[in-house]
Amino acid sequence: MDLELFDRRFVNFSTRLYHEVLDCRMRPFADGIQGFRRMARDVAQTLGKTIQFEVQGESTPVDREILERLKAP
């Protein structure tokens, strides 16, 4: 009986720890696209065009590594 209780507690703890670690790696999508608006605006001005730059899902959590790759492809 004690072993089963230990097992349940250990699984519960390890699951919570796993999710905490994942949450630490996640950042809002908006953090990775900060420079995109300016870049799009500058390119449009260079080409003599007008644009409307709209991003949906800026608050969506994304892994930090993916955001870093977006900043420096």
pLDDT in tens, the chain (73 residues): 688 989 999 999 999 999 998 888 999 999 888 888 899 999 999 999 999 999 999 999 999 999 888 876 5
Tokens of 53: 């730059």
pTM assigned to the model: 0.61
Structure letter (DSSP) for residue 31: G
* Rounded distance between C-alpha atoms, residue 19 and residue 11, angstroms: 12
Please tell me whether residue 39 adopts helix, strand or coil conformation: helix
Instruction: Annotate 51-72 with three-state secondary structure.
Output: CCCCCCCCCCEEEHHHHHHHHC
